[in-house]
């Protein structure tokens, strides 16, 4: 039998958990669905130093705290991979690999995924010098040498950002020129702290004492192997939204991100999107939480209009 809720939240990261808190505290019945453990990307984060209220907190600990808050007012949590969402006007149907749910409001909070380069050391040293987020981890590398792998907008923008704390930033790129916008390129070329390595085929993130010590690459022109010494390796070879199940709704842009208005509402009435899955320039816990609060409250306002 189909289970019916006022609100189904898809994704139990910081965005989804906050949306569930606001909606259930407004007395709506709420189901939070996730294909894995609650907490989302916070579970992949060792230390979080930029979430207000905590000098520093481990990602899994913050996940636990947010989960407890979000279920305090009666929201249910269930496992299931969402495969599609059907929009039947005032009623939506969420199809999962473990049954279907009916809801008046659906809040999409499925996040995004950083693309990996797939070399030895990348996985093992994640959180030990390998990072995909300069804003999150840059401060751990004060006065140290770091490397950025990539040559697009994110790589160059984050490389410039890292110069504020790091001693030097080496941008390692597989081509002989950057792909980033010209304005970003100029900013990077003018920055004395930034060095470039061109035509590099990255082979390994090297380590010493279980921490990143450098980036090993082969120069594609000479075939020679080199190592760029670095305490941090920031990888920016792309990021993709987790929006495959929502393709049929007509709410994705050409790259798969979801566009919303300031109330987090998509083009489809009663369907909201929050957190990293949205089209935006900064993806952080504090933002996902803020957007979750808006969507949870908007769910209440929208349901009032249904009569
Ligand atoms: P997510 O946290 O990505 O959660 C999405 C959830 O949706 C996941 O649990 C996933 O399992 C679920 N999901 C996806 N698809 C489906 C589906 N089809 N069916 C069911 N469930 C689905 N931010 C900071 O502010 N400070 C930091 O220090 C920091 N460090 C970071 C370190 C790392 C290594 C990474 C990767 C990110 C870091 N971030 C940090 C960014 C931060 O984690 C994200 O901005 C935040 O988690 C986004 O929250 P979200 O709720 O939008 O999505």
Q: Confirm whether 133 is a catalytic residue.
A: yes
CB within 8 A of 151, min separation 6: which ones?
171, 173, 174, 175, 177, 178, 179, 180
Cα(186) to ligand 1 centroid in Å equals: 32
Record the tokens describing residue 66, joined without a space: 């947010």
Bridge partners for 107 per DSSP: 9, 272
User: Rg of the chain's alpha carbons, rounded to an integer?
Assistant: 21
87 is catalytic: no
Catalytic residue among 6, 34, 136, 276: 136
pTM of the predicted protein model: 0.89
Q: What does the alpha-carbon distance between residue 178 and residue 139 come to, in Å, rounded to a whole number?
A: 25
What's the 290 CA to ligand 1 centre distance in angstroms? 14
Atom of ligand 1 nearest to the CA of 283: 45
Check if 33 has its Cβ closer than 6 Å to any atom of ligand 1: yes
Q: Is 96 in the pocket of ligand 1 (CB under 6 A)?
A: no
CA 40 to chain CA centroid, nearest Å: 9
Per-residue pLDDT reduced to its tens digit, 54-81: 999 999 999 999 999 999 999 999 999 9
For atom 48 of ligand 1, which residue has the closest CA? 276
184 lines ligand 1 (CB under 6 A): no
| Listed residue (258, 300, 276) closest to 105, CA to CA | 300
Length of the chain in residues, anyone?
A: 307
- Count CB neighbours of 161 within 10 A: 16
Give pLDDT tens digits for 114-173.
999 999 999 999 989 999 999 889 999 999 999 999 999 889 989 999 999 999 999 999
First to last CA, the chain: 25
Cα–ligand 1 centroid distance for 276 (angstroms)? 7
Rounded to whole angstroms, how far apart are CA atoms 265 and 238? 26
Ligand 1, pocket-test mutation among 9, 110, 241, most atoms within 8 A of CB: 110
Residue 276: its pLDDT value, please?
Answer: 97
- Which pair of structure tokens corresponds to residue 280? 């935006």
Residues 6+ apart with CB under 8 A from 254: none
Averaged pLDDT, groups of 10, the chain, 307 residues long: 92 98 98 97 87 94 97 97 97 96 98 95 95 92 97 92 97 95 94 98 97 98 98 95 97 97 98 97 95 98 93
Distance 15 CA to ligand 1 centre (A): 8
Q: How far apart are CA 230 and CA 215, in angstroms?
A: 7
Which one, of 34, 18, 111, 33, lies nearest residue 72 by Cα?
18
Closest listed residue to residue 25, CA positions, set 63, 69, 66, 73: 73
Q: Determine whether 137 is an active site residue.
A: yes
């Amino acid at each position: 039998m189909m289970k019916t809720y006022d609100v189904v939240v898809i994704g139990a990261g910081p965005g989804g958990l906050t949306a569930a808190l606001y909606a259930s505290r407004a007395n709506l019945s709420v189901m939070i669905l996730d294909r894995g453990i609650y907490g989302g990307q916070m579970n992949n984060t060792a230390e979080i130093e930029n979430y207000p209220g905590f000098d520093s907190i481990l990602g899994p600990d913050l996940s636990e705290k947010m989960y407890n808050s979000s279920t305090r007012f009666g929201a249910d949590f269930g496992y299931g991979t969402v495969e599609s969402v059907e929009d039947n006007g005032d009623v939506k149907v969420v199809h999962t690999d473990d049954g279907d749910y009916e809801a008046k409001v659906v809040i999409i909070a499925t996040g995004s995924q950083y693309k990996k380069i797939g070399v030895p050391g990348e996985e093992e040293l994640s959180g030990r010098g390998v990072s995909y987020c300069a804003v999150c981890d840059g401060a751990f590398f004060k006065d140290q040498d770091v490397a950025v792998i990539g040559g697009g907008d994110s790589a160059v923008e984050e490389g410039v950002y890292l110069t504020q704390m790091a001693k030097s930033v080496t941008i390692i790129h597989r081509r002989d020129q950057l792909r980033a916008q010209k304005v970003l390129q100029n900013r990077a070329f003018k920055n004395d702290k930034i060095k470039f390595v061109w035509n590099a085929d990255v082979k390994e993130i090297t380590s010493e004492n279980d921490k990143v010590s450098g980036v090993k690459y082969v120069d594609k022109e000479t075939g020679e192997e080199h190592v760029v010494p670095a305490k941090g390796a920031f990888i920016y070879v792309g990021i993709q939204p987790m929006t495959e199940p929502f393709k049929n709704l007509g709410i994705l842009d050409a790259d798969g991100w979801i566009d919303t208005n300031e109330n987090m509402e998509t083009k489809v009435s009663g369907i909201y999107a929050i957190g990293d899955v949205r089209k935006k320039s900064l993806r952080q816990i504090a933002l996902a939480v803020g957007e979750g609060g808006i969507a949870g409250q908007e769910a209440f306002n929208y349901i009032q209009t249904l009569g």
